Structures are given as C-alpha cells and as structure tokens.
C-alpha cells in the first residue's frame, strides 16, 4: 500500500492493501453483510502537517475486506515496517462513511499508550480489533492528543444538577423508570458470595476492624442477612449520598469503592429490600431503605425511613459508630444444590465462608499495610484466612515490578508480580498425615480451593490487597496439568485500575497487551520449576506411599491452609531461583512455532500474525487436535512440525472441508 515501503526494498509479498477482518467490519458497519462495497472518505497525513482526504472504499474479499483507492506515494511513510500500528476512527452514520487513519511507528508514544491499556487488551489474541463508541474512549483520546489535525477528542457531557433541571421551564423529564432500572441493576453478575464480598468492601472502606455477618436458616423466620461493622459510620447526609445510584465521591488511596454502585448493586442482586442503619461519631443514628414494591407502586426514586422491624433489631444494633446493611425479602438462590450430604443452606454458608476467607485473606492475616488485623465473623464464627500462596512448603520467587505508562507527573502505575510454586501431592500428604481424616479433607479442600486444583493455577489479581480475580492465564498460556502448582500474585492500586479495565462488579480485569511479553519472560523459570516439582517422583520428606501418590499425576495445586494455622513461605535465592528449584539452563527454549489453545472459534484452527509474530490458534472444534497440542506442549520441534503440517492442510482447504461436514 505504501510506495516508500517498496522503494526501500522491504516488500516481501504482493499484498498491497490494508485488509480488515470480516467480524471487525460487521461490528462497525451493521449493513456490511448486505453489501460488497462500502464507500469511505478517508482523511490522512500526506506529510507531518498536511491532511488530505481521499475517496476510498472497502471491498469484500473471500474472508475479509480490502481497503482500496489510496496508495500513498510520499516518502513521509518511510517509517512503515512490521510492527507498526494502523489506527482508524470511522463515522459509519453517513454515506459515504467518514474516517481518519494514521500509522504509528513501533517507537511512537501513542502506540505504546494504546497497547499498554486494558481497553485494547484483545490485541493480545488478535492482530485487529474493533472498539465501538465508549469502548474506544482511551484510544480516541490518545489519537486526539498526538494527532489533533486528524482526530478530535470526544466531547465531555456536562451534568446539570437535578434541582436546576426541574427549575427549567418546559423541561421534559425522561428519568429512568425506577422499577426497570432496579431490575437491570439487580442482574449485574453477582453471586451470593461475591455480593457479600462487595458489601464487606464498604465496611473495610469505612475502616472497620470487626465485621459480623448474620445469615440465619431461611427455614426459620425467612431469608434475610445483615452485614454489620464497627467502622466510621455515616452522617445522615453521607448515608443519603451512599444510597444514591452512581454517587461520585473522592476515593482515598486505600478505598475499595470505585463506581458508587457496589452497595446498591450487591444488595439488589440478592434482595428486594435494602435497609442501611448507620451512625458516625457525634451524630444520630439514621435509617434509609430502598424497597422494590414501593418503587413499583410510586414509580419514584423515594427513600423510606421506617424503623427496623423488631425481629432484626439485635442484628443492626451498632455502638458509637458503624454501619449495618440489612437485606430482607431475599430471593431464593438460583445455584443448584450439590449432592445430598448437606442442606442447600449449609452449602450456601460453606460457599460464603470459603469465598470470604480467600478474597480477604490479607485483611484477616493482618498483612495489609497501614491497618490492623480485621476480624470477620459469619454467624458468630470467626473466618480463617485462606492464603493461596501461604503454605509453608510453597517456594517463592523474586518479585518483578512492571511500570505502566504514567497518567500524571510523579504517578506511575505499577504491577507487582511474584510467582509461587505450591507443594505437590506427595509433599502435602506427608505434611498432613498426622491429622485426623476429617481435618485432612478440610485442609486438602483449602489447598486446592475446594477441589479445583487444575483451575487454581494462574494469576491472582489483588486490587488494594483485596483478591478480585484468580485462576487461569489470561490467554498467555493454556491450563496445563504439569504447571498446576504455579500461582502468580499480581498486585495493583488505584493508579493502575483504569488501564486494567476493572469492571463494575470488581471481579474482572483485562491485562494490557504490552505487558504480555514481559510476563511470559518472567514466567519462564516459574513454569519450569512448577513442572519439575509436579514431575518429582519422591518428595524430600515424603514417605514411600506418599511418593507413589505424588507420581500418580493427581497432585494438588497449592494452598494456604496449614495444620499449624499459618507459617511463612520458603524464600527464594538471591538470583530468583527457589530453593530446590530448577536452574535457568533447564528452562525450555523459546517456542518458535506458537500453538495456542483458545476456547472459541468458527474453524478448527486459524493462523494469525500478531505483534508477537505468527501463531496458530487451535479451537475445540476438533478434540483430537486439541489433545495432540496438549501432548506435545513441551516439545518445541514437534510443535513446529505440527504447525507446518497444518499449513499444508490449509493450502488444501482442509479446515473449510472439516466445517462443511454434517
């Protein structure tokens, strides 16, 4: 496409256009499926300062779309080379469509700012993505900052105070329907354990040191719950603001809040009536209630301040300061009961307990800087911290700090990454053999995060020392039986949360694409060490019987629970190697023919060229191919041979033939 690229002799193929994936075009142009040509008036740079507009078009190809009508001849584009980024903003609401595009050199700051942000994290799985409307706000802001002659910053929407709105003559109020919005917000993806955790977040943000959760048997007196704390509490005005949906306030550096939604969303996901009782030191106790039936009857956002019913009085009683969140008219759980040994209520209690012990383990351990140990009780029983990397036999590697692009002077977002290799089954069996059988089972469940050892491998993301997401490799690697002992803690604070795209439920994040290679490089040694420990046929301290169990291929995936109730993890050596770990020379050499297992796809496999080079994505369409990739995971030569064999099949059209079979 760029003549200067040819003049410099860089051209290695006859592909002379920008091709767009069909799914990208379909997202931007909803009518694309019914057209073969889409006209676009494209603005671009002719040199560093001159903007020209060229009549261009997208033309449908066999499996994609081709941008035609403009092949720049200017020497300005001499910087174009593999790895450069092509960015285009399109207004598809006109005919012809309007667009501006730019090419960003490998070294350009705008390219780094886009790749280092979670908004464009999908570039880690695909060389091309489409971001629609607000999805691309960050990218649009970056392009507007660096190329104002081509791109305009999205206009900020000014917010008019509600009181002024109603004072305007003739204003047509189209406020959200209270009942409809209640139903929408009640479906924000919370389970009962995650909802309780979000309510505990509010208590911790208000500096609580003791939190009591009351959840009595629903068969006796109905289904209700109360989360009460001894924190700072709220004034009547502060409580009213807290009950407001989306209320924005200044969040402190250690504040677990983010969107002004957690209290309402978590409560409404489980109950039709939310009552909050709160008292700040020196102020009177205040009570405010959101009631679904009242919203349905009045269709108004009207808070109630009725006194709490006597049956709940003891649960909401607070001292000099604190807050009690009372959920009544709770809806029955939608989660299916597991087995018949325990009642559904007992299973719910166990699930809440396990979730909170894991998510808040640092608070329960007293390991959060600047605050004392927190006590959380469930029906009067203190919770025990479940540190997924805290077992005494766990091997610890050195920390790696990854700096993200700074958002403001002197404020550099940082990811702190540290890998842990948890004990294999033989080692763990030897460690717990003196315990009674029931206690052994409890410890094993905690070690494997309730029996899901293989799912427990991967990243553990901590936002302000609160675990928000765990398990899995964020598409950097496939889950591997031989690396299931490896867990990697990734810590970040409020400075980094925007680039990690923390979602409204604070349960999901996106890794910026630009940190993928850094993490892969850091994890070479930990992955090799995890394989070595998994494959070890006898532990240093294991009995003969324990060794046989360790060689059976069913080792646990590490865990925090210990018979002694704590302990420190084994330190690593000064060069980052854990004691007893493998040396760098034993690390597999770099994979030159990347084969990636992905969870979805419309064809059995697909070859892609990304910023990291060529790779083949294998989907679940052909299970035998997936099994083969898993078998040869550590054999680089075999993977290279398979990649080339698949290339031969591609030329013969085999992937399409496979999908055409009935």
Per-residue pLDDT reduced to its tens digit, 538-550:
444 443 333 333 3
Segment among 83-92, 195-204, 330-339 with least mean pLDDT: 330-339
Mean pLDDT of 331-349: 74
Residue 408 per-residue DSSP state: B
Higher pLDDT, 173 or 464: 464
Segment among 100-114, 373-387, 601-615 with least mean pLDDT: 601-615
Is-contact 376 359, C-beta < 8 A? no
Is-contact 462 469, C-beta < 8 A? no
Phi/psi at 34 (nearest 5 deg)? -105, 10
Higher pLDDT, 88 or 592: 88
**Could you tell me the two tokens for 228?**
């009460």
Place of tokens 């540190």: 387
Give the closest residue to 492 by CA, choosing from 550, 424, 413: 413
Task: Spell out the domain ranges in the chain.
Answer: 3-146, 179-382, 395-586, 594-660
**Could you tell me the two tokens for 422?**
């948890």
Gyration radius (Cα) of the chain, Å:
28
pLDDT of residue 228 exceeding 60: yes
Place of tokens 């409404």: 268
Measured CA to CA, the distance from residue 426 to residue 553 in angstroms comes to: 10
**Whole-structure pTM value:** 0.66
DSSP secondary structure string, 616-656? Answer: EEEPTTSHHHHHHHHHTTT-HHHHHHHHHHHHHHHHTTHHH
Place of tokens 């695909």: 126
Measured CA to CA, the distance from residue 195 to residue 504 in angstroms comes to: 12
What's residue 333's pLDDT? 72
Neighbours of 575 (CB within 10 A): 9
Confidence grade of residue 579 (pLDDT, cut at 50, 70, 90)? very low
Fold (CATH) for 179-382: Heat Shock Protein 90 (3.30.565)
Confidence grade of residue 159 (pLDDT, cut at 50, 70, 90)? very low
**Could you tell me the two tokens for 188?**
């924000």
pLDDT of residue 158 exceeding 50: no
Phi/psi at 421 (nearest 5 deg)? -110, 110
Residue 318 per-residue DSSP state: -
**Could you tell me the two tokens for 436?**
């009674």
What's residue 552's pLDDT? 33
Higher pLDDT, 578 or 30: 30
pLDDT digits (tens, 9 = 90+) for 553-573: 333 333 333 333 333 343 333
Place of tokens 């978590």: 266
pLDDT digits (tens, 9 = 90+) for 53-72: 999 999 988 778 999 999 99
Of the ranges 206-210, 593-597, 645-649, which is most confident?
206-210
**Could you tell me the two tokens for 174?**
């189209």
Confidence grade of residue 658 (pLDDT, cut at 50, 70, 90)? low
The pairing of beta strand 97-104 with beta strand 37-45: parallel
**Could you tell me the two tokens for 607?**
């070859």
What's residue 575's pLDDT? 35
What's residue 339's pLDDT? 58
User: Hey, which bits of 135-221 come out as E strands?
Assistant: 210-214
Confidence grade of residue 506 (pLDDT, cut at 50, 70, 90)? low
Measured CA to CA, the distance from residue 619 to residue 629 in angstroms comes to: 11
Higher pLDDT, 156 or 588: 156
Measured CA to CA, the distance from residue 636 to residue 642 in angstroms comes to: 10
Q: What is the dihedral of CA 140, 142, 143, 147, to 10 degrees?
A: 140
Give the closest residue to 18 by CA, choosing from 56, 55, 76, 67: 67
Q: What is the dihedral of CA 589, 594, 597, 598, to 10 degrees?
A: 130
pLDDT of residue 100 exceeding 80: yes
What's residue 409's pLDDT? 66
Higher pLDDT, 487 or 593: 487
Measured CA to CA, the distance from residue 95 to residue 628 in angstroms comes to: 49
Neighbours of 30 (CB within 10 A): 9
Confidence grade of residue 587 (pLDDT, cut at 50, 70, 90)? very low
Residue 250 per-residue DSSP state: P
Place of tokens 């910053």: 153
Measured CA to CA, the distance from residue 360 to residue 461 in angstroms comes to: 12
Confidence grade of residue 529 (pLDDT, cut at 50, 70, 90)? very high
Confidence grade of residue 127 (pLDDT, cut at 50, 70, 90)? confident
For 463, the 3-state DSSP assignment is strand
Which strands make up the sheet holding 97-104, listed edge to edge? Answer: 18-21, 64-68, 51-60, 37-45, 97-104, 85-91
């Amino acid at each position: 496409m760029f003549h200067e690229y040819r003049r410099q002799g860089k051209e290695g193929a006859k592909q002379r256009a920008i091709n767009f994936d069909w799914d990208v075009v379909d997202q931007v142009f909803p009518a694309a499926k019914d057209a073969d040509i889409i006209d676009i008036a494209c603005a671009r740079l002719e040199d560093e300062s001159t903007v020209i507009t060229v009549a261009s078009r997208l033309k449908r190809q066999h499996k994609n779309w081709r941008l035609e009508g403009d092949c720049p001849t200017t020497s300005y584009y001499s910087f174009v080379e593999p790895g450069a980024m092509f960015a285009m903003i399109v207004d598809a609401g006109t005919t012809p469509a309007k667009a501006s595009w730019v090419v960003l050199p490998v070294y350009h700051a705008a390219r780094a700012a886009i790749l280092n942000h979670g908004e464009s994290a999908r570039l880690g799985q695909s060389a091309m993505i489409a971001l629609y409307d607000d999805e691309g706000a960050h990218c649009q802001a970056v392009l507007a900052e660096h190329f104002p002659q081509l791109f305009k910053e999205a206009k900020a929407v000014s917010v008019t105070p509600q009181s002024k709105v109603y004072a305007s003559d003739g204003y047509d109020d189209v406020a959200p329907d209270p009942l409809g919005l209640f139903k929408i917000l009640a479906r924000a993806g919370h389970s009962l354990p995650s909802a309780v955790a979000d309510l505990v977040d509010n208590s911790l943000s208000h500096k609580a040191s003791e939190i009591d959760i009351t959840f009595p048997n629903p068969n006796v007196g109905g289904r209700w719950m109360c989360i009460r704390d001894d924190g700072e509490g709220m004034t009547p005005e502060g409580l009213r603001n807290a009950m407001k949906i989306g209320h924005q306030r200044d969040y402190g550096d250690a504040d677990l809040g983010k969107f002004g939604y957690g209290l309402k969303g978590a409560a409404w996901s489980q109950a039709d009536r939310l009552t909050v009782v709160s008292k700040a030191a020196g102020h009177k106790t205040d009570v405010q209630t959101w009631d679904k039936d009242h919203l349905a009857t009045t269709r108004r956002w009207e808070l109630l301040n009725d006194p709490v019913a006597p049956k709940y009085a003891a649960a909401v009683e607070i001292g000099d300061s604190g807050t009690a969140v009372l959920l009544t008219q709770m809806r029955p759980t939608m989660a299916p009961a597991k087995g018949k040994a325990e009642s559904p209520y007992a299973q719910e209690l166990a699930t809440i307990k396990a979730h909170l012990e894991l998510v808040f383990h640092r608070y329960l351990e007293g390991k959060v800087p600047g605050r004392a140990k927190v006590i959380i009780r469930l029906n009067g029983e203190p919770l025990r911290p479940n540190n997924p990397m805290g077992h005494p036999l766990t091997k610890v590697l050195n920390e790696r700090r990854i700096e993200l692009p700074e958002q403001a002077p002197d404020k550099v977002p940082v990811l702190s990454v540290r890998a842990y290799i948890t004990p294999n089954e033989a080692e763990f069996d030897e460690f717990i053999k003196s315990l009674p059988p029931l206690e052994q089972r409890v410890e094993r469940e905690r070690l494997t995060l309730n029996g899901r050892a293989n799912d427990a491998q991967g990243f553990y993301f901590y936002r302000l020392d609160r675990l928000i997401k765990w398990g899995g490799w964020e598409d950097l690697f496939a889950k591997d039986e031989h690396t299931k002992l490896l867990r990697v803690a990734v810590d970040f604070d409020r400075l980094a949360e925007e680039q990690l795209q923390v979602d409204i439920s604070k349960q999901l994040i996106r890794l910026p694409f630009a940190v993928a290679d850094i993490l892969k490089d850091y994890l070479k040694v930990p992955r090799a060490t995890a394989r070595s420990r998994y494959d070890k046929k006898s532990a240093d301290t294991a009995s003969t019987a324990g060794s046989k169990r360790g060689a059976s291929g069913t080792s646990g995936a590490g865990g925090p629970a210990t018979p002694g109730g704590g302990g420190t993890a084994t330190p690593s050596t000064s060069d980052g190697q854990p004691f007893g770990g493998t040396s760098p020379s034993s690390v597999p050499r770099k994979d030159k023919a990347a084969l990636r297992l992905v969870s979805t796809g419309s064809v059995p496999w697909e070859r892609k060229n990304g910023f990291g080079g060529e790779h083949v994505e294998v989907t679940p369409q052909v299970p035998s191919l997936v099994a083969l990739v898993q078998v040869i995971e550590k054999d680089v030569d075999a993977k290279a041979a398979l990649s080339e064999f698949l290339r031969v099949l591609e030329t013969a059209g085999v992937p399409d033939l496979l999908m055409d079979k009935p």
